[in-house]
């Protein structure tokens, strides 16, 4: 059966690779395999009368730049996405082709972050304090410090924690999950270039400490050491986190963080949610 359906994203990428090869050669020869990638592309070309009808049944086929130019022109006439068009740097809104390709391009939430505003925005008598936004729209120079909060439930009730922070001058974001993780990481990467303080607030466990020590943070928000030492427990440190032990042991922490480092290596932890009734301070890493 002749294939006259639009070329798939995979088939377009395959043609783009051949196009790259033809920058250095006059032709590229491929062996034709039944039901393989080249077989389906050749059927598409035959359906649109760009090559002989029996081409997909030949043992081999040679591609030329002239043929690929004709393929691109035909795709444009049909309203298909050209194989020479890379969608990797476009959003789905910018992809105006009739074809939808969800597997490539900038994903809708790739640059989105969940931000906690210092004060709610009042609208229709409802206060909105948590905003989903593109991190490019945030003026990082307007803030003195970035606070990254690990757990979403704690992020939403940050006012319940007693901390020595001026939230009016801080940019506060959720560290993210499958929805906001990429955006938060991208924002943090840009923040690190400013050289301004970066504070991590999360669980006091092996994973949380490993994140704080290895991802560019300058401080970690924690209870005072003596108080923390009284409430940590092995029950609040998942055994699956033991893989982070070695990396923490090998990390040369600051003098102020050293007691916390030694404490976490006893494999006793404290969940972030348990810190609401303790005064929190920034401990330099």
Evaluate if pTM is beyond 0.75.
no
Q: Please say whether the dihedral angle defined by the alpha carbons of residues 109, 111, 114 and 118, taken in this order, is positive or negative.
A: negative
Can you tell me the mean pLDDT for 258-274?
A: 96
- Report pLDDT digits (tens) over 62-87: 999 999 999 999 988 888 888 887 65
Angle at which helices 37-47 and 9-21 pack, to 10 degrees? 90
| Positive/negative CA dihedral, 35, 40, 46, 48 | positive
Q: What is the 3-state secondary structure (H, E, C) of the chain?
A: CCCCCCCCHHHHHHHHHHHHHCCCCCCEEEECCCCCHHHHHHHHHHHCCCCCCCHHHCCEEEECHHHHHHHHHHHHHHCCCCCCCCCCCCECCCCCCCCCCCCCCECCCCCEEEEEEEEEEEECCEEEEEEEEEHHHCCHHHCCEEEEECCHHHHHCHHHCEECCCHHHEEEEECCCCCCHHHHHHHHHHHHCCCCCEEEECCECHHHHHHHHHCCCCEEEEECHHHHHHHCEHHHCCHHHHHHHHHHHHCCCCCCCHHHHHHHCCCCEECHHHHCCCEEEEEEC
Give pLDDT, residue 87: 53
- Specify burial of residue 151 (Cβ count, 10 A radius: 0-12, 13-18, 19+): middle
- Of residues 201 and 142, more confidence is placed in 201
Q: What is the tens place of the pLDDT at every residue in 230-251?
A: 999 999 999 999 999 999 999 9
Lowest-confidence region among 50-54, 206-210, 257-261: 50-54
Quick one: pLDDT at residue 86? 64
271 pLDDT more than 50? yes
Chain segment 116-163, per-residue pLDDT in tens: 887 654 444 444 578 888 888 888 888 899 999 999 999 999 989 998
CA 2 to CA 28: how far, in whole Å? 23
pLDDT at 94 over 60: no
Is 79 in contact with 97 (CB distance < 8 Å)? yes
Q: What local confidence, expressed as pLDDT, does residue 112 receive? A: 87
Instruction: Output the pLDDT for position 200.
Output: 97
The better pLDDT of the pair 275, 32 is held by: 275
At residue 150, the pLDDT reads 96
Report the pLDDT value the prediction gives residue 147, as an integer from 0 to 100.
95
Residues 278, 223 contacting (CB under 8 angstroms): yes
Average pLDDT in the 38-53 region?
Answer: 90
pLDDT value of residue 25: 86
**Which residues, 6+ apart, have CB-to-CB distance to 200 below 8 Å?**
148, 150, 208, 211, 212, 215, 217, 219, 220, 221
* Residue 269 near residue 206 (C-beta atoms within 8 A): yes
pLDDT of residue 109: 59
| % pLDDT > 70, the chain | 86
Predicted confidence (pLDDT) per residue in 5-26, tens digit: 888 888 888 898 888 888 888 9
pLDDT at 197 over 50: yes
């Amino acid at each position: 059966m002749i294939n006259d359906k639009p070329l798939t994203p995979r088939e377009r990428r395959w043609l783009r690779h051949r196009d790259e090869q033809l920058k250095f050669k006059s032709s590229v020869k491929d062996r034709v395999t039944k039901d393989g990638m080249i077989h389906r592309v050749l059927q598409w070309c035959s359906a649109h009368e760009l090559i002989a009808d029996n081409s997909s049944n030949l043992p081999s086929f040679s591609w030329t730049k002239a043929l690929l130019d004709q393929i691109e022109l035909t795709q444009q006439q049909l309203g298909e996405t050209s194989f020479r068009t890379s969608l990797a740097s476009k959003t789905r809104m910018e992809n105006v082709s009739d074809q939808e390709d969800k597997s490539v391009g900038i994903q809708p939430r790739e640059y989105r972050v969940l931000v906690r505003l210092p004060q709610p925005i009042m609208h229709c008598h409802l206060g909105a304090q948590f905003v989903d936004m593109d991190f490019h729209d945030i003026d990082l120079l307007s803030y003195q410090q970035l606070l990254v909060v690990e757990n979403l439930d704690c992020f939403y009730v940050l006012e319940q924690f007693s901390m020595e922070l001026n939230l009016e001058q801080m940019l506060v974001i959720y560290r993210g999950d499958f929805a906001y993780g990429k955006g938060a990481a991208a924002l943090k990467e840009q923040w690190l270039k400013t050289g301004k303080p970066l504070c991590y607030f999360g669980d006091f466990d092996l994973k949380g400490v490993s994140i704080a020590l290895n991802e560019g943070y300058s401080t970690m928000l924690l209870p005072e050491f003596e108080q923390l030492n009284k409430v940590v427990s092995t029950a609040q440190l998942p055994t699956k986190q033991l893989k982070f032990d070695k990396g923490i042991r090998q990390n040369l922490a600051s003098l102020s963080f050293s007691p916390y480092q030694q404490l976490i290596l006893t494999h006793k932890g404290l969940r972030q949610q348990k810190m609401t009734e303790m005064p929190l301070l920034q401990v330099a890493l």
